[in-house]
Amino acid sequence: MALRAVRGAVQLDADEREHLLASTRELVAAVMSANGLHVDDLVSIQFTCTPDLHSEFPAVAARELGMGDVPLMCSVEVDVAGALPRVVRLMALAETPATRAQVQHVYLRGAAALRRDIAQ
């Protein structure tokens, strides 16, 4: 098994608590599914939000998915002029037999524009 970093992002329609939680759950579930991961495979997840999102911590959504014993952390993304607004990003560290080239990074909705080269 190797330790791999898996990236993902989702753009929200609005900074509303339930929308942020639902979108983050969707993102986490998509990352897990695309990579055949289970909660026990996770080492940790780092979430970031653009500075315009402040209705809730994205880690709450991961906890709602049963990740109570996975170390989770949230922070604010760098505030760059012209950056895509209302984006939740994640980087999950996971133990997996997948090679780096086999890891599937997941970019949902408008966040696909962040990485058109690898977005699903």
What are the boundaries of each domain within the chain? 2-115
Q: Is 107 a catalytic residue?
A: yes
Q: What are 105's two structure tokens?
A: 């990074």
Residues of the chain under the 50 pLDDT cut: none
Query: Which single residue is written with the structure tokens 């970031």?
Result: 48
Q: What are 69's two structure tokens?
A: 């014993």
Q: Catalytic pick from 49, 56, 86, 107?
A: 107
Looking at the chain, the number of H-run helices and the number of E-run strands are: 2, 5
Q: Catalytic pick from 25, 64, 74, 109?
A: 74
With 0-12 / 13-18 / 19 or more C-beta atoms within 10 angstroms meaning exposed / middle / buried, residue 75 is exposed
Query: Which single residue is written with the structure tokens 């709602």?
Result: 64
Q: What are 88's two structure tokens?
A: 């939740």
**Pairing assessment for the beta strands 72-76 and 42-49 based on DSSP bridges:** parallel
Q: Catalytic pick from 4, 49, 77, 86?
A: 77
Q: CA 35, CA 82: separation in Å to the nearest integer?
A: 31
Q: Is 74 a catalytic residue?
A: yes
In this structure, CATH architecture of domain 2-115 = 2-Layer Sandwich (3.30)
Can you give the pLDDT at residue 82?
Answer: 92
